[in-house]
């Protein structure tokens, strides 16, 4: 989904990590006649029904593929440690959410204690998470391996890894912080009604602490950029941290977004004196994978099924993968009301309407004049939401709903 403000030129995308894959302006022009693996072909725009403000690209069954190879020093141990901490933080947030739901449901103290013990036991052990997938691996014919927990990893000596002084100090600091967290979790807790949400607040601090410890003062790899290019000019981008899309056989050391189709919103590069565009510049659904050469057969493992598998190793001339079939779904979006909108007119009121985008379909609500608390109370039906892949992946991929609120005459 692309904003009309980018003009009527053709659109292409470029993927780069550091200098690898990045094309200078002259190379961008020549790449039209000499395709490169880090740049897609140029696509024309197709208008979206019911919305004159956005366009889409014709990539329904032929999905463009971008890849680039980058040679770097082996600092994977830094990224995998960061991923261990990020995954621990994500798991704790999930468990805290479950704990909070049980508090809201007025569960007994025994049930709350049971949920709290789960969080407590996780902090005591900090496992990698591979044990949960042992049965799946046995069925797939893969020898199941459970890797060391985080305490063992931080305490063990790794002779094949050449750490500098900053690495050693980082390991010691993380271990010290985790021991402090472990001590706090060991304290007795009181589940009186007046103190339950205080426990939730403290647990959220712990999850946040794990996330903060994941920050590394020594970036292992340069950031990854996805550029949207319009008529050989870079107009919007997305930036990714390399560890977030790193592949690893150990579940706990794999990036949070590796092997997942995710929805991202591109940003517009700007100088300090240029105001930000409040609208959605471009919405892209993308599958990202970063890993070492020996893991190349795993690139397409988690991609939604139903496509023709390309031969490996990947050919630099490969420009797309082809899906064989597509399915259509229906989604209903009930728009009830909004409150405390910002005033958009001189009268101190606003003329609001909603723009709802799902997949490549967009619909808008009626405009309600002079209101800061509009009530639409209507249902928008999206009848033909196209999806390529299996039914299991449909909810995850189609389920990204974008809701934008506009003032009609501003």
Dump pLDDT digits (tens) for 349-367: 888 899 888 877 888 899 9
Distance CA 58, CA 41 (A): 12
pLDDT tens, position by position, 231-286 = 888 989 999 999 999 999 999 999 999 988 888 889 888 754 555 554 567 889 89
Number of domains the chain is built from: 3
User: What is the share, in percent, of the chain residues with pLDDT greater than 90?
Assistant: 40
pTM of the model: 0.86
Average pLDDT over residues 109-127: 92
Query: Does residue 185 sit in the same domain as residue 118?
Result: yes
Q: Which domain holds residue 159?
A: 76-213
Residue 317: per-residue pLDDT: 83
Query: Does residue 83 sit in the same domain as residue 206?
Result: yes
Query: Does residue 318 sit in the same domain as residue 280?
Result: yes
Per residue in 270-292, is it b (16+ CB within 10 Å) or e — as a string? eeeeeeeeeebbbbbebbbbbbe
**Reported confidence tier of residue 386, pLDDT bands at 50, 70, 90:** confident
Query: Does residue 65 sit in the same domain as residue 89?
Result: no
Residues 226 and 14 sit within 8 Å (Cβ to Cβ): yes
From 197, 213, 229, give the residue that closes a domain.
Answer: 213
Distance CA 110, CA 113 (A): 5
Distance CA 335, CA 375 (A): 8
Query: Does residue 316 sit in the same domain as residue 333?
Result: no
Residues 307 and 324 sit within 8 Å (Cβ to Cβ): yes
Distance CA 404, CA 239 (A): 23
CA quadruple 123, 125, 126, 129: dihedral, nearest 10: -130
At 25, which helix (H) or strand (E)? helix 25-30
**CA quadruple 296, 298, 304, 310: dihedral positive or negative?**
positive
Is the pLDDT higher at 391 or at 93? Answer: 93
Counting beta carbons within 10 angstroms of the beta carbon of residue 407, is it exposed (0 to 12), middle (13 to 18) or buried (19 or more)?
A: middle
**Reported confidence tier of residue 387, pLDDT bands at 50, 70, 90:** confident
Counting beta carbons within 10 angstroms of the beta carbon of residue 301, is it exposed (0 to 12), middle (13 to 18) or buried (19 or more)?
A: exposed
Query: Does residue 189 sit in the same domain as residue 208?
Result: yes
Average pLDDT over residues 72-91: 93
Residue 291 confidence (pLDDT) above 50: yes
Mean pLDDT taken over the chain: 86
Residues 300 and 362 sit within 8 Å (Cβ to Cβ): no
User: What is the share, in percent, of the chain residues with pLDDT greater than 70?
Assistant: 92
From 163, 183, 213, give the residue that closes a domain.
Answer: 213
Average pLDDT over residues 339-348: 78
Query: Does residue 53 sit in the same domain as residue 165?
Result: no
**Reported confidence tier of residue 314, pLDDT bands at 50, 70, 90:** confident
Average pLDDT over residues 14-31: 91
Closest CA to 261 of 283, 243, 242, 241: 283
From 213, 239, 264, give the residue that closes a domain.
Answer: 213
Query: Does residue 83 sit in the same domain as residue 205?
Result: yes
């Amino acid at each position: 989904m692309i904003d009309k403000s980018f003009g009527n030129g053709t659109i292409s995308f470029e993927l780069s990590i550091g200098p690898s894959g990045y094309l200078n302006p002259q190379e961008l022009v020549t790449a039209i006649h000499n395709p490169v693996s880090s740049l897609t072909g140029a696509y024309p725009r197709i208008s979206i029904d019911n919305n004159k403000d956005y366009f889409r690209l014709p990539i329904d069954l032929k999905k463009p593929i971008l890849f680039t190879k980058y040679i770097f020093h082996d600092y994977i141990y830094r990224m995998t440690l960061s991923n261990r901490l990020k995954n621990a933080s994500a798991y704790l947030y999930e468990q805290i959410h479950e704990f909070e739901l049980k508090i809201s449901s007025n569960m007994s103290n025994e049930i709350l204690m049971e949920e709290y013990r789960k969080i407590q036991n996780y902090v005591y052990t900090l496992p990698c998470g591979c044990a949960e997938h042992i049965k799946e691996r046995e069925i797939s014919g893969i020898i199941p391996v459970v890797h060391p927990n985080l305490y063992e990893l931080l305490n063990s000596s790794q002779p094949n890894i050449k750490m500098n002084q900053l690495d050693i100090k980082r390991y010691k600091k993380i271990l010290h912080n985790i021991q402090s967290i472990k001590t706090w979790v060991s304290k007795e807790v009181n589940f009186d009604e007046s103190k339950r949400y205080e426990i939730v607040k403290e647990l959220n601090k712990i999850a946040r602490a794990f996330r903060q410890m994941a920050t590394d003062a020594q970036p292992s790899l340069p950031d990854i950029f996805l550029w949207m290019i319009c008529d050989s000019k870079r107009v919007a981008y997305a930036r990714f941290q390399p560890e977030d899309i790193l592949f690893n056989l150990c579940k706990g050391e794999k990036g949070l977004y590796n092997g997942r189709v995710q929805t991202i919103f591109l940003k517009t590069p700007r100088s300090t004196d240029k105001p930000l565009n409040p609208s959605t510049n471009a919405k892209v659904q993308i599958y990202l994978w970063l890993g070492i050469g020996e893991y190349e057969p795993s690139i397409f493992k988690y991609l939604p099924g139903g496509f023709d598998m390309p031969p490996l190793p990947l050919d630099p001339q490969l420009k797309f993968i082809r899906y064989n079939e597509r399915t259509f779904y229906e989604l209903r979006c009930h728009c009830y009301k909004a409150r405390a909108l910002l005033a958009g007119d001189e009268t101190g009121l606003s003329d609001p309407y909603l723009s709802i985008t799902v997949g490549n379909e967009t619909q808008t609500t009626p405009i309600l004049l002079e209101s800061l608390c509009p009530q639409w109370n209507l249902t928008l039906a999206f009848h033909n939401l196209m999806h390529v892949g299996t039914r299991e992946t449909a909810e995850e991929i189609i389920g990204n709903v974008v809701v934008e609120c506009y003032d009609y005459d501003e």
